[in-house]
A and B are shown apart, each in its own frame.
Chain A
């Protein structure tokens, strides 16, 4: 290199003029251009990788939201129901069971037929009845049971339509297909159009989706059962994992001697964090249900399994938070005569708490989205009641999503997506809480 330079540039010339040498030859310029091209290519590939991830995220969210937001509205039909005493029970009856046994199907059909008097044949009447959800009967029954004075009166009420009608009105199925390929037949389409024109059929807010539990009929399902189940499960998880996690972290970080045993514990915790979640489900099935005989499908067992699963995460986060508290705090407290336990409980732990809480919330958010281990312990049952205690059979939100995603009916696609939206909103709130906590209490020592 130096030889060439010496040949081409006179010694007296200033350094800048040295340039028109080997670095300006055609080959060198070409090489340089190739290197710069490769540089920008490499940068582009990196950008493309980011864009790919972001695009995948956007596509996923877009798919879910666009398929799901329609579920918050449900097609309803307005009917004037004549709650005649012959069809239900004599006026003045208060016996709930008797009232529930009333023939509400006939009442609804009567109300429908009043709107379409021309419908006479059996088949057509059945189709007419099929406009309204099969759950409408018990809905009216419950309403009358709650207020028996309604018997003998005529009430105007909005009832949910059947799921087939709902997806047809929302145009989620091919509405132009020939009649034999459609689940909604031509005369039903005519009725729908008539009802729409008279304002008796419209999309209304789907309250039941937020207050109900599981059902066989897509138009009657709700997420509240799953939300309550998730709440109980997470409550158990928190009660078990949070104190245990903090205590384990305190011991390992503040008190444990450096010896073989603590090393075993540490390696163990790191390994546990990488065990597939489904293995925790097997553990729960064999130990909690098989050995201790706890009830299947109960949030209690689900919560315990998720607690074991999130324990390593909480321990690792808590240890990091404890480590971030500077030693000077401890020394000052020691110097004032505090015992080792008092040092930790009065000074180190309160200072580490924001970090510990942040880690715990993130672990809880993970536990909220966890599905596989809960399948193992039987939380996948079909449960129409909202659980009242942590030992009732229950399901959780993600398992509910899994079950609805498994159903073949068209109406469930929208409900599944909507349930996912609800789940994602909960996750978003938890993560926001974690971020705010970190922002508000983060300290630099």
Chain B
């Protein structure tokens, strides 16, 4: 790892730069801090910035583009016949070359025609690393010297350093926006490539989902069907079962904890719900597959019902349990935000506690509760591990909770796990499904925020 060594050396250089800048400032002020515009520390930091920042930026740019550069140089070196290969096969050749260069494939097994290319690749890589070392160190040292040469007693080092720091803060606050843009762009681009081969109308409204693509054109069943309605229906079914469990239980738990529970009960029940929220979803999935699904199947069989071993009911039930704390903690906050004066007024009119809750508190808290239910629903739609482990892959279009259904997330996961080429419609279908999921959850989230904003009562 000579690259991490380079970073370490650069770090060392900046540390030296810090002390050089500091001592230079002290020397320039003839040892008296009061002669300086800023504290000596800032002069040190000023040199650090000049020494480290340009070199680091260069390093980042190099890392980002070195691979593509070397690749194109290597491709131009390849024999004409290899260069004419389609993109994916060319990619295989390149990765072979790379593996040979790193010694993952023994060289003696290599194709003789590739030998010179591999040697060239190795020499290019070495040349690249050497060049990077030279350039980064040159920038680092030049920056250090320049920064140091600027130091004078009336030089405003603090203002300069703080301006850079401010820019850093602004840049890091835009990372969130960049993430969103990244999500949208990656989903949209891959989904567009998918829609180039599959009609979007067929994808959104088609009733059969069987994403097998044939390897050869003359194979039986060569045309994959990409009608995603069974997946949407299955997702909604499981999410609906989850909500049937989670909303009443979560809401009543929140009401009880906010209005009835003695401090002792509260001190015990609140952490328990938090633990429930902290358990990883893969654990819930294992629980659903190991315990709940067989239990439901056996119970159904004992009363003469045919229950699939991966029934929607099992997955939905466990997902509901997972979402209970989500609903209850959000509702708890909303209920606690209803001012005491409303309760007192209701009690003063002779209402019992439950009447107060039902007629006064819940209506007052309704917008918040509705928002929390919507957010919980959006979480249920996007939940992956429980359904991957407990709901299976069968894309049935049914409303029967005892049958096996599948969800959007299950198919995103199953289409992308395992070795897949990046260009087949099968892989790209996952991105189209992801796009649908992203749009739906995002809209639900926005709706929830709107509801809260629009209908919230301001009591104070």
Binding site for B on A (CB under 8 A): 35-36, 38-39, 41-43, 45-50, 52-54, 56-57, 59-60, 63-64, 67, 243-244, 247-248, 250-252, 255-256, 264-265, 267-272, 274-283, 285-287, 290-293, 308, 311-312, 315, 339-341, 365-366, 368-372, 375-376, 378, 380, 389, 398-399, 401-402, 405-406, 413, 416-417, 420, 423-424, 427, 431
A276 with B280: CB separation less than 8 A: no
Binding site for A on B (CB under 8 A): 1, 64, 67, 158, 162, 165-166, 168-170, 172-177, 179-180, 182-183, 186-187, 189-190, 248-253, 255-257, 259-261, 265, 269, 272-273, 275-276, 278-287, 289-291, 321, 324-325, 328, 352-355, 357-358, 375, 378-379, 381-385, 388-389, 409, 412-413, 416-417, 422, 430-431, 434, 437-438, 441-442, 445-446, 449
Residues of A near B290 (CB, < 8 A) are 63, 67, 405, 413
B176 with A339: CB separation less than 8 A: no
CA A45 to CA B162, docked complex, whole Å: 58
Partner of A46, one of B252, B272, B375, B417: B252
If the complex has contacts A45-B252, A53-B321, are A285 and B416 also in contact, measured as CB distance less than 8 A?
A: yes
A371 with B281: CB separation less than 8 A: yes
Partner of A372, one of B168, B276, B385: B385
Residues of A near B291 (CB, < 8 A) are 59, 63
Closest to B328 in A: A53
What would 29 A/B residue contacts be, using CB atoms closer than 8 Å? A43-B353, A46-B252, A53-B321, A56-B324, A60-B284, A64-B283, A248-B175, A251-B169, A252-B173, A265-B173, A277-B382, A278-B382, A278-B437, A286-B431, A292-B64, A311-B176, A341-B162, A341-B165, A371-B385, A372-B281, A372-B384, A372-B385, A375-B413, A376-B412, A398-B280, A399-B282, A406-B389, A427-B278, A427-B280
If the complex has contacts A35-B352, A276-B409, are A47 and B256 also in contact, measured as CB distance less than 8 A?
A: yes
A251 with B182: CB separation less than 8 A: no
A423 with B280: CB separation less than 8 A: yes
Partner of A53, one of B169, B173, B272, B422: B272
A369 with B281: CB separation less than 8 A: yes
A60 with B279: CB separation less than 8 A: yes
A372 with B413: CB separation less than 8 A: yes
Nearest-CB distance from A316 to chain B (Å)? 10
Residues of A near B280 (CB, < 8 A) are 368-371, 398, 423, 427
CA A366 to CA B115, docked complex, whole Å: 48
Partner of A248, one of B173, B186, B325, B378: B173
Partner of A265, one of B174, B183, B358: B174
CA A190 to CA B394, docked complex, whole Å: 44
A50 with B434: CB separation less than 8 A: no
If the complex has contacts A255-B169, A405-B389, are A278 and B276 also in contact, measured as CB distance less than 8 A?
A: no
- Looking at chain A's contact residues, is the secondary structure mostly helix, strand, loop, or mixed? helix
CA A57 to CA B274, docked complex, whole Å: 10
Q: List the 8 shortest-distance A-B pairs measured between CB atoms, nearest first.
A: A276-B382, A369-B280, A46-B256, A286-B186, A49-B252, A42-B354, A372-B384, A251-B169
Nearest-CB distance from B393 to chain A (Å)? 12
Residues of B near A399 (CB, < 8 A) are 282
Residues of A near B279 (CB, < 8 A) are 60, 369, 424, 427
Closest to A251 in B: B169
A256 with B252: CB separation less than 8 A: no
Nearest-CB distance from A423 to chain B (Å)? 7
Closest to B287 in A: A60
Most interface-central of A365, A376, A431 (chain B CB within 10 A): A376
Closest to A266 in B: B176
Closest to B166 in A: A255
If the complex has contacts A39-B354, A278-B434, A339-B158, are A271 and B445 also in contact, measured as CB distance less than 8 A?
A: yes
Most interface-central of A45, A274, A280 (chain B CB within 10 A): A274
B249 with A247: CB separation less than 8 A: no
B176 with A283: CB separation less than 8 A: no
Partner of A376, one of B175, B182, B183, B413: B413
B285 with A35: CB separation less than 8 A: no
If the complex has contacts A276-B437, A282-B431, A376-B416, are A401 and B256 also in contact, measured as CB distance less than 8 A?
A: no
Residues of B near A248 (CB, < 8 A) are 169, 172-173, 175-176
A405 with B183: CB separation less than 8 A: no
Residues of A near B375 (CB, < 8 A) are 274
Residues of B near A53 (CB, < 8 A) are 249, 253, 269, 272-273, 276, 321, 324-325, 328
A50 with B437: CB separation less than 8 A: no
B352 with A39: CB separation less than 8 A: yes
Residues of A near B174 (CB, < 8 A) are 265
Closest to B440 in A: A276
Residues of A near B441 (CB, < 8 A) are 274-276, 279
A375 with B438: CB separation less than 8 A: no
B283 with A60: CB separation less than 8 A: yes
B286 with A251: CB separation less than 8 A: no
Residues of A near B275 (CB, < 8 A) are 57
Closest to A431 in B: B278
Nearest-CB distance from A57 to chain B (Å)? 5
A278 with B413: CB separation less than 8 A: yes
B381 with A402: CB separation less than 8 A: no
Most interface-central of A43, A315, A406 (chain B CB within 10 A): A43
CA A424 to CA B278, docked complex, whole Å: 9
Residues of B near A291 (CB, < 8 A) are 186
A50 with B180: CB separation less than 8 A: no
Nearest-CB distance from A5 to chain B (Å)? 15
Most interface-central of A276, A291, A370, A423 (chain B CB within 10 A): A276
B389 with A402: CB separation less than 8 A: yes
Partner of B257, one of A43, A50, A339, A401: A50
List 11 additional A-B contacts (Cβ < 8 Å) besides A46-B252, A60-B279.
Answer: A49-B256, A50-B253, A54-B269, A60-B284, A60-B321, A247-B172, A251-B172, A369-B282, A369-B283, A371-B281, A398-B282
CA A312 to CA B275, docked complex, whole Å: 22
If the complex has contacts A46-B260, A268-B176, A278-B412, are A287 and B182 also in contact, measured as CB distance less than 8 A?
A: yes
Residues of A near B272 (CB, < 8 A) are 53-54, 57
Residues of B near A282 (CB, < 8 A) are 183, 186-187, 190, 412, 416, 430-431, 434
Most interface-central of B180, B328, B437 (chain A CB within 10 A): B180
Residues of B near A244 (CB, < 8 A) are 172, 175
A405 with B285: CB separation less than 8 A: yes
CA A308 to CA B174, docked complex, whole Å: 12
Residues of A near B379 (CB, < 8 A) are 274, 276
CA A59 to CA B291, docked complex, whole Å: 10
Nearest-CB distance from B376 to chain A (Å)? 11
If the complex has contacts A275-B442, A405-B389, are A341 and B166 also in contact, measured as CB distance less than 8 A?
A: yes
Closest to B283 in A: A420
Nearest-CB distance from A272 to chain B (Å)? 6
Residues of A near B385 (CB, < 8 A) are 371-372, 402
Residues of A near B431 (CB, < 8 A) are 282, 286
B249 with A402: CB separation less than 8 A: no
A272 with B176: CB separation less than 8 A: yes
Most interface-central of B190, B259, B275, B385 (chain A CB within 10 A): B385
B253 with A265: CB separation less than 8 A: no
CA A367 to CA B51, docked complex, whole Å: 35
B286 with A420: CB separation less than 8 A: yes
Nearest-CB distance from B244 to chain A (Å)? 13
CA A158 to CA B352, docked complex, whole Å: 70
Most interface-central of A248, A252, A340 (chain B CB within 10 A): A248
CA A50 to CA B255, docked complex, whole Å: 10
Residues of B near A48 (CB, < 8 A) are 252
B180 with A271: CB separation less than 8 A: yes
Closest to B246 in A: A53
Residues of A near B430 (CB, < 8 A) are 282
Closest to A421 in B: B283
Residues of B near A380 (CB, < 8 A) are 417
B384 with A50: CB separation less than 8 A: no
